[in-house]
Amino acid sequence: MGFAGPLFDKNNFSADQLQNLRPKTGKSSTGPTGRFRGTGPTGSRSSSNPLSSGRGGRGGGATVLRYPNKRLDNSSDYLQIKVVKYTPNSNLMSKSDKASQKEGGTASGHVAGIQGKSLTAKVGRAVNMETASSRARKQSPLSMIFLPIPQGVTDNNAVSYKSDDLNPVKAAMAQFAMGMMTQPGETVKKAVDIDSFGKIDETTKQAILAKLTGSAVGAESMVTRATGQVMNPNLETIFSGVSIRDFSFTFTLAPRNQSEGQQVKQIIRTFKKHSAAKGVSGNGFFIGSPDIFICEYMKGGAPHPFLNVFKPAVLSSMNVNYTGQGTYSTFYDGTPTSMTLTLNFQELNPIYSEQYDEGVGLQGVGF
């Protein structure tokens, strides 16, 4: 075990003085978020801007944490992580269910406001329901964390495709099924009429009959045995669905003074606390969802003009290595001299094309 020595603040020697972080004038300053304002050290009031002064604090009821203790100006790039409370979709519950849940009871599963309506109406309501991402963006922050932009900034977008076949027999069966729903009498008449095959050669006709017979008895290779051919699969790559993005950040945390050491400890605690499930919910009958994290690259007091944007996400896992340099080393109060923090997030909703033309999707390169 090694000790790095007393590099922390001493009496009358603050981190601000050490790093010359505070402005030297008494003019009002605005932090990166544009919401925290205060006066400099020479003003009549103490600075309430934790971002411009290099200190954490509280803003608008939310705990503000940051690393490193370095003044951020209009040219500073950094990562802002906002923590908000998870908000369930209340439209999926009736009024009685909501009251029951507050009292610790169970829900009936009825969709609020559409009991007794047609299936089409219920489906339409479900299709247009608010997403978890939009609900999260409406919440007030519980905590605000400001970190340097990590190395290796990347984004990854993907959708799912698969290979699919539709041989002539499958196509005919699909047409038959559609006909049975629209014109059942005519469809049955054509099905039993061998002449409905049309003008095709005898070999092809026998191959189709063999395929139908093989499918009926579970011998899919019968057409090959009977004709020495295989049915044309008409393979095609088709879209199969969307995916939800995962992304991760890795930070090296090396406190240079006592102020930064305390900030790092609180940052780690905040991520751990808000990513954990809530054990007391519904009189102990349920486990509550963890909180949500909204990550955003920033430049000064505005969203970054180029880098990608994120959807609200869950912190699926985190890892802290307290021996960041491979050797256990601490300051005199036990704070590790170097740590590595890895955060793994998963977005709440998939990305759709239309979202690039509205809201945060208009920023920078989009999602």
Q: Which is it for the CA torsion 328, 333, 337, 339, positive or negative?
A: positive
What pLDDT, on the 0 to 100 scale, is given for residue 147? 96
What confidence score (pLDDT) does residue 121 get?
Answer: 60
Quickly list DSSP for 291-318: PEEEEEEEETTEE-SSS-----EEEEEE
d(CA 33, CA 298): 9
- pLDDT of 280 higher than 70: yes
Question: Which pLDDT value is given to residue 11?
Answer: 38
Question: In whole angstroms, what is the distance from residue 110 CA to residue 128 CA?
Answer: 17
Reported confidence tier of residue 211, pLDDT bands at 50, 70, 90: low
Q: Hey, what are 84's tokens?
A: 């908000």
Q: What is the DSSP letter of 43?
A: S
Same domain, 211 and 262: no
Contact 310, 367 (CB under 8 A): yes
- Residue 241 pLDDT > 70, yes or no? yes
Indicate the number of domains in the chain.
3
Q: Is the pLDDT of residue 175 over 50?
A: yes
Grade residue 269 by pLDDT with cuts at 50, 70 and 90. Answer: very high
Residue 367 lies inside a defined structural domain of this protein: no
Domain that holds residue 218: 161-239
pLDDT at 284: 72
Q: Helix-strand-coil percent breakdown of the chain, rounded to 5?
A: 30, 25, 45
**In a shared domain, residues 175 and 208:** yes
235, 252: one domain: no
d(CA 72, CA 79): 12
| C-alpha span between 115 and 124 (Å, rounded) | 13
Output Rg (C-alpha) for the chain, integer angstroms.
31
- The pLDDT of residue 277: 93
Question: For the purposes of burial, counting CB atoms within 10 Å of the CB of 212, is it exposed (0-12), middle (13-18) or buried (19 or more)?
Answer: middle
Mean pLDDT lowest among 22-36, 85-99, 173-187, 231-245: 22-36
Average pLDDT for the chain: 74
Q: At what angle do helices 184-191 and 168-182 cross, to 10 degrees?
A: 140
Tell whether 100 and 78 lie within a shared domain: no
Per-residue pLDDT averaged across 217-246, rounded?
A: 78
Least confident range of 42-56, 58-72, 271-285, 342-356: 42-56
| Together in a domain, 350 and 315 | yes
86-128 pLDDT tens trace: 988 877 665 544 444 444 444 444 444 445 566 566 555 555 6
